[in-house]
Every structure is written in structure tokens, then in C-alpha cells.
Amino acid sequence: MTDSPIIIALDVESAAEAQRLVRAIGDAASFYKVGLELYAAAGPDFVRELKAQGHRVFLDLKLHDIGETVRRTVAQVTKIAPDFLTIHATDQVMRSAVSGRDGSGKVGRDASRGDGRDASRGDGRGAADLKLLAVGVLTSLDDSDLLKDGYVATVTDLVELRARNAMDAGVDGIVCSPREVARVRAITGRRMILVNPGVRSAGAATGDQKRVATPAEAVAAGADHVVIGREVTRAKDPRGETLRILEDLGVVAKAG
């Protein structure tokens, strides 16, 4: 379903379990998140497997390391061709990731262009079509958590700062909570892809998330994609639950 904003989070322990979910969901979804747990268990081959089946893949690794390590890691990730890759929204990490993706071998802005993009192609890309998404502040954190870690900024202030830095660094999108997505969209306009985790239908358990909203609220506020996990993957009927959420979003007609 190419017009669906839903990304299904395959937060499971094995490739076999993930594939069972993919089969159960069927044509109700075509975009899947592979996070750290599944990537550690199944590795790059599982990403290739999903791509070979015609699915889009959101590789949620949240890379955060020294610049050279990030650059080289992103260059390797391009070889398995996920659609999205997450990195943390710190300046050195973002610029290094762009360099690794574009193959420019340079960290930061190209001196001749001044926009953080590779001057070798008119579209600002090297050989890869990988979209880099910067994670502003994890949706499991709130202001009190930031204070414990020594930040004096609020979550909203930090997300807004990192959104501006992400645009300047040349990444393609931002991962933020639905609570901040309207303000981030006001900063970025339509230039950036905005992805919202921390999305739950009304009445669904929030789990370990602190800044949440419903899928419809997130999309109305400006999200391009919403990430939905346990609500679908732990449902008795994963396909039916996905279709119900799509009905709420107006993507498919309500039955009856």
C-alpha cells in the first residue's frame, strides 16, 4: 500500500518471527522498521530479504559515534539499500553520515556549495538513495530526563534546535514525537521527511513512551510517517488492526 503513512516496527527477536508478521499483515503494509534487536539477530541479510520482497525498510540504528566511524558505517549501510537510516542529531554525527552516504569523503559542508551536499551530482547525492533521518530527542524522554542528563533546555527547545541543525547539515528528515511535529514542520517546511514514533491509537497502552499521540493526530500535525509497533504486532489479527488504523487515517474506506 504505497500511499500509507504507516511504518510497522518489527521489534521481535528473530527473522522467522518478523517474517511471520510480514506474512500476517500482507498487503495492509509495505514499510517496515528494523531496529537494533532484530538487526543484531538477523543482520543485513534480513534487510536484503525484505527489499527483495518489494518492501521498504526503515533501518533504525540511531548511529552515534565519532565522525569517522559514522561515515564508514553509513557507507557500508548503503550497500544493503534500506530506504531510511536513523542517526543521532548531533552536528558531527549528521555531517559525517551525509559524507558517508554521499561518498564525498568530506565531513561537513562542501566549500564550493556551502550547503552540506556533494557537488558531484546536481541533486546533492552520491550513488546512494538512502534517506538519513536525525533523531531529535527519544520519545521515551521528557524534560525531567533531560535535566538529569545535564541539559538545561526543554525537550521542545532541544528538538527545535536539532531540527535547524539537521537542515543545515544536509540530512533528509527528522524523527520526533507527535507532540513536537507541528513545530518542527513549521521550521522545516516540506523540505524534510518527518517520522513520528510514540504513536498509539486512543485507548492503546503507551508502554515506555512518554510523548505520544494517535496516528491521526500525528499526521494532521505534519508527520509524513508514523511508526506503529506493539499495537499491530501483538494484536490477534495484525492485518485487521493495521487496516483499522488505516481506516482511522482515511487511507482506506471504513467497512460497511
Question: What is the rounded average pLDDT of the residues 12-21?
Answer: 97
Q: Is there a contact between 176 and 159 (Cβ–Cβ < 8 Å)?
A: yes
List the grid coordinates of 133: 533521518
How far is the first Cα of the chain from the last one, in angstroms, to the nearest whole number? 21
Residues with active-site annotation: 62
On whether the CB atoms of residues 63 and 88 are closer than 8 A, the answer is yes
pLDDT at 69: 98
Per-residue pLDDT at 254: 56
Cell of 107: 565531513
Distance CA 148, CA 145 (A): 5
Give residue-wise pLDDT tens across range 184-219: 999 999 999 999 987 877 655 545 555 568 899 999
Cell of 125: 547525492
- Compute the distance between CA of residue 40 and CA of residue 237 in angstroms, rounded to an integer: 27
The mean pLDDT of 225-254, rounded to a whole number, is: 89
- CA separation for the pair 254, 252 (Å, rounded): 6
Is pLDDT at 164 greater than 60 in this prediction? yes
- Of 11 and 148, the one with more pLDDT: 11
Residue 149 has what pLDDT? 80
How high is the mean pLDDT of the chain? 85
pTM value? 0.84
Distance CA(183)–CA(198), nearest Å, equals 16
| Cβ-based neighbours of 76, under 8 Å, separated by 6 or more | none
- The answer to whether 100 and 75 are in contact (CB under 8 A) is yes
Q: How much of the chain is in helix, strand and coil states, percent to nearest 5?
A: 45, 15, 40
What are 49-98's pLDDT values in tens digits?
A: 999 999 999 999 999 999 999 999 999 999 999 999 999 999 999 999 99
**Across-strand partners of 153?**
none
Question: Looking at the predicted structure, is the pLDDT value of residue 10 above 80?
Answer: yes
Q: Do 199 and 162 meet the contact criterion of CB atoms below 8 Å apart?
A: no
Q: What is the mean pLDDT of residues 159-167?
A: 93
Give percent above pLDDT 90 in the chain.
65
